[in-house]
Structure formats: C-alpha cells, structure tokens
Amino acid sequence: MPETASRPGKLERDAGRLRATGDWTLPHHARLRKVVGQKHDIHSLDLSGLGELDTSGAVLLAELMGPEHMLDVASWAPDQPAERHALLVTVASAMQHSSPPHPRVSPPVLIALGEVGRSIEGLWRQQVQLLGFIGLTLSSLAAVLLKPWRWRVTALVAHIQQIGLNAIPIVALLTFLVGAVVAFLGATVLQDFGATIYTVNLVAYSFLREFGVLLAAILLAGRTASAFTAQIGSMKANEELDALRAQGLSPMELLVLPRVMAMMVSLPILTLVGMFSGMLGGAMVSAMALDISTTQFLTILQRDIPLRHFLVGLGKAPLFAFVIAVIGCLEGFKASASAQSVGEHTTSSVVQSIFMVILLDALAALFFMEMGW
C-alpha cells in the first residue's frame, strides 16, 4: 500500500547466508536494483523477514537467485505463503522467456550515410509512386467519365462545399490583405519616379497572373490536402479501405475521384475570388492613400490590361488543383495504422503539395514568358 509507511527493502548478510528483509516494492526499486546488481555468490536466500512484495521486487529476487533456482522456491523457502510462491514462480518463469533484446549498434557515420541513402531512395520512390497514382487516377476517371450513372454527385457536391464554399472567407481576406500590401509597396517604389499611377497595373498584373491562383492554391494545399490525407489515412487505419475493396468497390472511384473533381471545380472559383479580392485591396489603398479613385482604377484596368493575363492565371488553377488533390489522397493511402504515421503523412502531403505548386508555377512562368503570353 503506498499510503502506509513502508520499511525499505534490504539485503543482509547473516553468518554467510543472505536475508532479504523489508518491503521489496516499486518505490524502493532503484535502490534495491543497485544492491542486487553487486556480485553475490549465493545458493540460498532467507525470505523470512520479507515484508511487502510486488512484481518489481519479485523480479529483483529472481535476478538475485537466478530464475531457474527461483522456480523451486517452495522447496527452499517453505515458510512463505502459497500466494508468494505463486508470484515468485510466475515472475521467474516469465523471466526465463524474456531474454533482453540486443539492439544492433552501428557507427554514427554509417547511420548518417544510411539515413541519407534512405531519404534519397525514398524521394525517388515517392515520385514514381506519385506518377503511378496520377496514372491510376486518370484511368479511373476515363473509365467513369462516359458513364454518368457512376458519378458520385452527392459526394462531389459535399466536397465542393467543404473545399470551395467554406474556404471563400479566408481566401478573400488573405488576398485582400496581400493586395493592399502590394499596392503600398508599388506606391512607395513608384513615387520616386512620379509614376504612382502604375500601381494599378502592378496590382492587376500580379494578381491576375500569379498571386490570385498561387495564394488560393497554397491555402488549399494547407487546408485541404491535409484534410484528404487525414481522412483517407484514418479510414485506412480503421480497415475501411479494405472493407470497400472486399465489397468489390473501388476506393479510387468512391474516395479519390470525388475529391479530385471537387478540387478542380473549387480552385478556379477560389482563384477568381482571390483575383477580385486582391484587386479590391489594391483599389482601396489606391483610393485612400494615392488619390486614385475607384473609377480611375477601373478605367485603367479596362484600358491597359489584356484579357490573356486573366486566362493565364486561371488556366493554371485546374493543374494545381489536380496535383494538390492527388498528393493529398496518395499520402492518405500511404499512411499505416498508427497515429504517428497519419501525422507524418499529413505533414508530408502539405509540404509536397506546396512545393509542387510553387515549382509548377515557376515552370509555367518560364513557359508563358517564352511563348510571349
């Protein structure tokens, strides 16, 4: 009992015979371990002075005597009650089966090298898997596309609500603020040249071509790719994916396609919201700090900015959406049953999808520049 005062356990040498006295319990374990750890050359042990005994104490006594010897405790310590014999024998026989595992120790240099090799191989394998998964998604899409009765309309609409509609406030707020910041920056730099009026062009160009789609995509990568991974990952942990397959249903068709399609519908809409909201932020700063009225802002927009910038920006949205959704789903499928694994893959899906979005955006910028669009 932890509440009652306990006599700490001791090992006493008494005329060449060892006596275990006091309470051999968990609170005294650390000290008793040191006592037991010393070399004792013994063949018998006097248990008559023993107070309380729990499993931790029994383990120590069995280590002291050797588990084999402890198994016939009843013959050399017959004065002890039967329950205590039972405990000592149970613990001793358990200890015979619990040889300490021997973890392999390698030199740190080898560990570091191995770690580098593993991560590079993992990176390569990840790309192969991603390409394979993209192919699988496209082939499932092709199989379903011409069969409207197999479209999961309800799931699609539910996902569009979650991914698209519910994200509108945060996308609008974020792009509005960035729009205001870009306008301020432009005004500060352009003022020296007396060209503050070009702030309008700066804001419009940046938001139509890049920022609208990029900010929306990054937000969705954080908000939705992680959700996809966590949903599918915990479904996998709960064997729901296996249950689907066992019933002859395709997880690709039921889980992945609605998510990918919903993403490809939502991101262009959010991009549009982002573009308008960003330019609104720019217009507000222009009107309040630069004396460019909203009418003037709109006139310049209409006169100077060709439609193709808008199309270039919007055209990237479905591509980004596809990549984000596919990475989110794939990472979910790769998770294993533990909570830690779901967490790791969720992190990985966000990092990967943001990385891919920015990489693709840079490549697209080069391409559009070469094409003169």
Q: Which residue from 4, 38, 75, 99 is in contact with other proteins, where contact means CB under 8 A? A: 99
Start-to-end CA span in the chain (Å):
82
Q: Which residue from 4, 98, 247, 295 is in contact with other proteins, where contact means CB under 8 A? A: 98
Q: What's the CA angle centered on 10, arms 100 and 97, to 5 degrees?
A: 20
In whole angstroms, give the CA distance from residue 51 to residue 285: 82
Q: Which residue from 91, 221, 269, 292 is in contact with other proteins, where contact means CB under 8 A? A: 91
Alpha helices in the chain (DSSP H): 29-37, 55-65, 67-71, 73-76, 82-96, 108-145, 153-163, 168-191, 199-205, 212-220, 226-237, 240-246, 251, 257-289, 294-304, 307-334, 339-371
Q: Which residue from 5, 41, 75, 100 is in contact with other proteins, where contact means CB under 8 A? A: 100
Region binding other proteins by CB under 8 A among candidate stretches 114-122, 145-153, 318-326, 339-347:
339-347
Chain centroid to Cα 199, Å, comes to 41
Q: Which of 367, 368, 318, 327 is nearest to 345 (CA)?
A: 327
56 is a contact residue toward other proteins (CB under 8 A): yes
Rounded to a whole number of angstroms, the CA Rg of the chain reads 35
239/304 with CB nearer other proteins? 239
Measured in degrees and rounded to the nearest 5, phi and psi for residue 50 equal -70, 135
- Shortest spacing between CB 339 and other proteins, in angstroms: 5
Region binding other proteins by CB under 8 A among candidate stretches 54-62, 146-154, 172-180, 278-286:
54-62
Q: Which of 265, 256, 173, 274 is nearest to 215 (CA)?
A: 274
Alpha helices in 66-107 (DSSP H): 67-71, 73-76, 82-96
27 is a contact residue toward other proteins (CB under 8 A): yes
In whole angstroms, give the CA distance from residue 316 to residue 212: 11
- Shortest spacing between CB 96 and other proteins, in angstroms: 8
Q: Which residue from 128, 146, 340, 370 is in contact with other proteins, where contact means CB under 8 A? A: 340
Region binding other proteins by CB under 8 A among candidate stretches 11-19, 97-105, 148-156, 241-249:
97-105
Region binding other proteins by CB under 8 A among candidate stretches 27-35, 153-161, 218-226, 247-255:
27-35
Q: Which residue from 12, 40, 68, 86 is in contact with other proteins, where contact means CB under 8 A? A: 86
In whole angstroms, give the CA distance from residue 346 to residue 248: 28
Q: Which residue from 10, 29, 69, 223 is in contact with other proteins, where contact means CB under 8 A? A: 29
240 is a contact residue toward other proteins (CB under 8 A): no
Binding site for other proteins (CB under 8 A): 1-2, 25-27, 29-30, 33, 54-56, 59, 82-84, 86-87, 90-91, 94-95, 97-101, 103, 336-341
